[in-house]
Amino acid sequence: MTSNARPPRMLIGQLAPTCSGEVTLRGWVFRIRQLAKTTFIILRDCSGTAQCVVATEALRGVDIGVEDTVEVRGTIIQDARAPGGFEVLASAVIVLGAANRSLPFHANSDLSQVGIDAILEHRPLALRSELATDVFRVQAAILAEFRAFLARRHFTEIVTSKIVASGTEGGTNLFELKYFDRAAYLAQSPQFYKEQCVAAFERVFETGHVYRAEPHASSRHLTEYCSLDLELGFIDGPEEIIQLERELLTSIFEGLSLSCGSALSRRGVTLPSMLKVPTWEFQECLERLKLAHGRSDLYDDLDPEGERQLCALAEQETGVPAVFVIGFPLSARPFYSMPRGTAGAAQSFDLLFRGLEVTTGGQRLHTRSSLEAALAARRLDPLSFGPHLTMFELGMPPHGGLAIGLERLTAQVLGLANVREASLYPRDRYRIVP
């Protein structure tokens, strides 16, 4: 069924019952229902869906099925029963690209009944489902709100190298690569570059991939993920960073409620104000876990169960399922962490949100002598960090910052069971394709 004359293409979202004349639509067949005399095609493009109606006889000899990419030409007719109050009476339907007739699922399938590996192996097909698309529209909005908030606070966005000569945390968990005649590594973090740029811009942020060669195989870990990093100078303590994140996440969540309200509603998601999130000392957290759950097995870090338990305790007290935990043992934190008092704690914190750590941050050491002493205490050679240490001779202010895992934050906002659902093409211990 074809026609030579073709008006310019319109997006479905541009259509209205009052549109006149012939229109051209292009998209994917979301559903098709063929009756004896009439065939109904639900067409989907990036802006929405529309119901197209065509005489079944006119499709004789046209092989058309779900997920095909098609062009539809026709006129708009008002129909209160149709989505949007109109439908397209088709005069031509042209198949632009046929889909395999034996696909493992369709865009109109219930993806909760489809295994995650099948979804990842057919990612573009899964993303034709509204619920799957919602995840990445929300994620894009988080990125946009993160940038907008920090731009209003005089932060400069930076873009730093992901090929480095050594690790930021003593050389562990690095992916090594062949760099001409020597070894190089994929960056675990932009931490060193952020600190150096504080010496120039005072306030900086970056959104970019980081790499962790950690042999985990869990629903919460990725070997490549997007990190939302910020660093600022002239601080008096990590509490300033914590308060900044409270305000940042509150702003992000308010923005999501406005720009992604439909997506959140489809999943039954409501977002709290993060201004009331409490800050608990690490030792206090251990005492709370012992009192509430009889736990005495934790000493230098929190396990996943402990994170969930602490968020539940925080929700009971404040109504918000989140808590900042500060004062982790200094020995368990990166060498550049500022000590907190004299009892071996660090000016370092995590934000636990809905049972999962989504942020790590803190105040950093800002003098060369203190960094060299910290390296020596961990039996790390300061010469290996020479180029970075030199930057601390340029007048480095007291500073600190944080890093938010974008995929983890997206997963916790939407209540996803597996962080891989919040990564378009996740990389983990076993997956490196597609």
Please write the tens of the pLDDT for every residue from 102-157.
999 999 999 999 999 999 999 999 999 999 999 999 999 999 999 999 999 999 99
Q: Which helix (H) or strand (E) holds 133?
A: helix 130-152
Residue 281, C-beta contacts closer than 8 angstroms, at least 6 positions apart: 325, 326, 327, 345
CATH 3.30.930.10 spans which residues of the chain? 124-422
DSSP states of 306-357: HHHHHHHHHHHHHSSSEEEEE--BGGGS-TTBPEETTTTEESEEEEEETTEE
**pLDDT confidence band for 80 (50 / 70 / 90):** confident
Q: What is the pLDDT of residue 1?
A: 54
> What's at 163, amino acid-wise?
I
Question: Is 423 in contact with 225 (CB distance < 8 Å)?
Answer: yes
Average pLDDT over residues 291-310: 96
pLDDT (mean) for 183-208: 97
pLDDT for 246-295, tens place per residue? 999 999 999 999 999 999 999 999 999 999 999 999 999 999 999 999 99
CATH for 124-422 is 3.30.930.10
Q: Are 381 and 389 in contact (CB under 8 A)?
A: no
Q: Which of 325, 328, 341, 345 is nearest to 279 (CA)?
A: 325
pTM of the predicted structure, to 2 decimals: 0.93
Question: Residue 5 has what pLDDT?
Answer: 64
Beta carbons within 10 angstroms of residue 82's beta carbon: 17
Q: What CA–CA distance (Å, rounded) separates 20 from 23?
A: 8
* pLDDT tens per residue across span 319-333: 999 999 999 999 999
pLDDT recorded at residue 172: 66
Q: 12-97 has which CATH code?
A: 2.40.50.140
In sequence order, the 6+-apart residues with CB closer than 8 A to the CB of 34 are 40, 56, 59
**Per-residue model confidence (pLDDT) at position 207:** 98
- Work out the pLDDT band at 304, boundaries 50, 70, 90: very high
**pLDDT of 3 over the 60 cut:** no
Q: What is the rounded average pLDDT of the residues 155-172?
A: 86
Mean pLDDT of the chain: 95
The predicted structure's pLDDT at residue 170:
60
Q: Is the peptide bond before 278 cis (omega within 30 degrees of 0)?
A: no
Cα–Cα distance measured from residue 15 to residue 28, given in angstroms and rounded to the nearest whole number: 17
Could you tell me where in the chain the CATH 2.40.50.140 domains are found?
A: 12-97
Q: What is the C-alpha to C-alpha distance for residues 302 and 380, in angstroms, rounded to an integer?
A: 26
